[in-house]
A = this chain, B = another copy of it.
Amino acid sequence: MSLPRIAVDAMGGDEGVRVMIEGAALARRRHDRFKFLLVGDEAKIAQALDHHPNLRGASEILHAPEAVAGDERPTQALRRARTTSMGLAIDAVKRGEAGAAVSGGNTGALMAMAKLALRTMPGIDRPALAALLPTLGTHDLVMLDLGANTDCDARNLFQFALMGAAYARIVHGLDSPRVRLLNIGTEETKGTDDLRDAAALLKHAAASLALTFDGFTESDKLSRGDFDVVVTDGFSGNIALKAMEGAARFVGDLLRRSFASSLRSKIGFLISKPATETLKHHLDPNNHNGAVFLGLNGVVVKSHGSASAMGVANAVAVTARLLEENLIERIAADVAAVDPDTIRQPARRRVANTEGETAL
């Protein structure tokens, strides 16, 4: 099967063209079936390609005169969709000239542009940004939303759970992924009304869905491997994800300081270096790079702004995997299989019903 080509926003990412092109080249060296549409400043891309003849042979360049700035407001970026590398990469997906788009640029702008150009799939009100987090278990945890939607109501959260479960089934081959809602306690009374309503919706509907709803979880349990999908609004998800990243880096810094504190520790460090290198590799965000917007009529992957070339290559590999596994069609089929009343009915009314039905 031939893989549709991947549109790369070559101007996205803090490091600019060089890293994006190097990342694409690295991905191409690993998988020679990958083909690319490189979108951005033509001269800069051509110059970067001089170092990667292998990639040049598998790529076409699409010139974009402008780039979206990192601090640009999404509404402002939207107006420049036809001239920016990000806008043109997404447009290529819309017009079928690429199968997917990858960008390391402004997340809010990417979300806004992708939503406007590709639209959400039937039955989904808002797309969500999903990523894979390392755990102590046998596979990574699917976490969404990571920042696409600051405010989410119960129905949004319910839809995120559906999409997250579909994603976990695809990437981990699970039959009925275990799904939890992120909250500040596990008791049913904890959290916001929206969280409690979403829990009621999921509890009510889980039997007819291809997922197991396990209730609430707290953010200190995300790395244990006890469940497969964690669902949250974009604000809390972003706060939790970055808190974990920061804490992991903090522990690494402390460890380095401790090892450097005495000659004995330095010797111990040298001897145990293979162990700490394994840890470093496991925790390096570049090895988990590539967050995907679920719920759109097209595959759009966000690479971390500060990703290395290896990180970009991993985001490209994630993108290719989602194309091969027909992510969009499979999520759409899952959503279509849900009783429309369950997913479309306002949460409040549904919750009232649920409570009535289960009243003691």
Chain A residues in the interface with B (C-beta under 8 A): 71, 73, 134-136, 147, 150-151, 182, 184, 187, 189, 191-192, 218-223, 234-236, 238-255, 258-259, 261-262, 264-265, 267-276, 278-279, 282-283
Contact = CB atoms under 8 A, between A and B. Distances in A.
17 contacts: A73-B189, A184-B239, A219-B243, A220-B246, A223-B247, A223-B249, A239-B239, A245-B247, A246-B247, A247-B247, A247-B251, A251-B279, A255-B279, A258-B272, A264-B271, A268-B269, A271-B271
Contact of A246 (B222, B245, B265): B222
A235 to B, nearest CB: 6
B151 A251 contact: no
Nearest to A107: B185
A182 B276 CA distance: 31
B258 A268 contact: no
Given A244-B250, A255-B276, 17 more contacts: A182-B239, A184-B235, A184-B238, A220-B242, A220-B246, A223-B250, A235-B236, A236-B239, A239-B239, A239-B243, A258-B275, A259-B272, A262-B274, A264-B271, A268-B268, A268-B271, A268-B273
A240 B238 contact: no
B271 A235 contact: no
Most buried by B among A184, A264, A271, A272: A272
Instruction: State the copy count for this chain.
Output: 2
Contact of A191 (B150, B192, B222): B150
Most buried by B among A150, A220, A255, A261: A220
A258 B192 CA distance: 39
Contacts of A274: 258, 261-262, 264-265
A172 B346 CA distance: 50
A290 to B, nearest CB: 18
Contacts of A255: 255, 275-276, 279
Contacts of A238: 184, 219
A250 B189 contact: no
A216 to B, nearest CB: 12
